[in-house]
Amino acid sequence: MKINSPFVEKVLCAFIKEELSKFHYSKGIIGLSGGLDSSVCAFLAAKALGPKNVLGLILPYRETFSEDVKDARSVARRLGIHLRLIDIAPMVDTYFSRFPTRDKVRIGNKMARERMSILYDFSAREKALILGTSNKTELLIGYGTIHGDMACAINPLGDLYKTQIRELAAYLGVPEKLLAKKPTAGLWPGQTDEGEIGLSYEEVDQILFQLVDSRQTPEAAVATGFARESVEKIVSLIRNSEFKRKMPPIAKISSRTVGHDFLYPYDRNR
């Protein structure tokens, strides 16, 4: 599972640069949470595009002076990228004042989609493409909000497990404080990814690596020493989140159909 960080940095920077230039963009935009993934993405983007071509948007709910906001600011300052802070509370509160709920997941998802909506508007406003920050762990276990934090124009981090992102972050010089932070989706105060998933990222990633990269059966993963219930949990998370990794199915009734047999690459004519 070990990565070669200098090479990974080189490839991902080349990817960001080439993909943007193909679509005639020179600027990238990133939602900065103060967490590790968006910080790593900002480091890569600043290197690939030049700091003046990167805009970090900090989109907190109310707590505009929280530790996370401070961390996001310090990353932006250190890299010299542009920065804007927009409090999403007015939009989110307006909605939930009409449809009140205590369901933390609904509220968290709504916030993630509010952030997405602002990022996309800023993408048009600033003529900048959105760089995604969903990592391989999240994509595989479906730990993300569909059309929320999973939405982006390109995703440089989607083939790196969380623990690999830590390795890359250390190499890139991401501040120690961010490396030590407990990962959180920020759905509600005090939430942590590992608390919610019920396993550490080290465990999750090693199990995923066996199942996905090494194409092992769940039985084989158990045989190498992982707890059966952990493996089964991961297997079921993967199975139940396929819809987050695909375009929605289109009912095929004609002779040639988008997604079925009208098949073109994303980079068509680029």
Partner 1 sequence: MRISLAQVSPRLGDLQKNFELHRYFIQKAKKKKADLIVFPELSLTGYTLMDMVQEVGLNPAEDPLFKRLKALSREIDIILGFVEEKEPGLFYNSAAYLSKGQILHIHRKVFLPTYGMFEEGKFFAPGKNFRPFAASFGKTGLMICRDFLSFGAGYLLFVGGAEVIIIISAAPGRGFSDEGGFATSRMWELMGEALSFFSSSFVVYANRVGFEDGKAFAGGSFVYNPLGHLIAKAPAVDEQMIIADLDLEEVRSARKKWPFKRDDRPELLLQALQRIVHEDED
Cβ-contact 147, 115 below 8 angstroms: no
Site for partner 1 in 50-109 (CB under 8 A): none
Task: Give, for 128, the enclosing helix (H) or strand (E).
Answer: strand 128-130
Q: Is 18 in the site for partner 1 (CB under 8 A)?
A: yes
Q: Is 23 in the site for partner 1 (CB under 8 A)?
A: no
Q: Does 11 bind partner 1 (CB under 8 A)?
A: yes
Q: Which is nearer to partner 1, 99 or 266 (CB)?
A: 266
263 binds partner 1 (CB under 8 A): yes
Minimal distance, residue 246 CB to partner 1, in Å: 15
Residue where the block lists tokens 């990022």: 119
To partner 1, the closest distance from the beta carbon of 126 in angstroms equals: 23
- Taking CA atoms, 23 is separated from 18, 142, 156, 268, in Å, by 9, 28, 16, 10
Place of tokens 């996370």: 68
Q: Is 65 or 266 the residue whose CB approaches partner 1 more closely? A: 266
The footprint of partner 1 on this chain (CB under 8 A) covers a number of residues equal to: 22
Q: In whole angstroms, what is the distance from residue 78 CA to residue 177 CA? A: 14
Taking the complex as a whole, the smallest distance from the CB of residue 2 to partner 1 amounts, in Å, to 7
By CB under 8 A, the residues from 223 to 262 that bind partner 1 are 262
For residue 264, the minimal CB distance to partner 1 (Å) is 6
Candidates 177, 182, 252, 270; binder of partner 1 (CB under 8 A) is: 270
Interface residue with partner 1 among 24, 98, 102, 268 (CB under 8 A) is 268
Identify the residue among 10, 125, 147, 182 touching partner 1 (CB under 8 A): 10
- 130 near partner 1, judged by CB under 8 A: no
Q: What is the SS3 assignment for 98?
A: helix
Backbone angles phi, psi at 222, to 5 degrees: -65, -40
Q: Which of 100, 190, 248, 265 binds partner 1 (CB under 8 A)?
A: 265
* String of contacts with partner 1 for each residue 140-179, x by CB under 8 A: --------------x-------------------------
∠ CA 216-218-223, nearest 5°, is 85
Distance CA 25, CA 27 (A): 6
Provide DSSP, 25-92: --EEEEEE-SSHHHHHHHHHHHHHH-GGGEEEEE--SS-TTSHHHHHHHHHHHHHT-EEEE---HHHH
Q: How far apart are CA 1 and CA 163, in angstroms?
A: 9
Position among 24, 180, 219, 264 found at the interface with partner 1 (CB under 8 A): 264
Interface residues toward partner 1, by CB under 8 A: 2-4, 6-8, 10-11, 14-15, 18-19, 154, 262-270
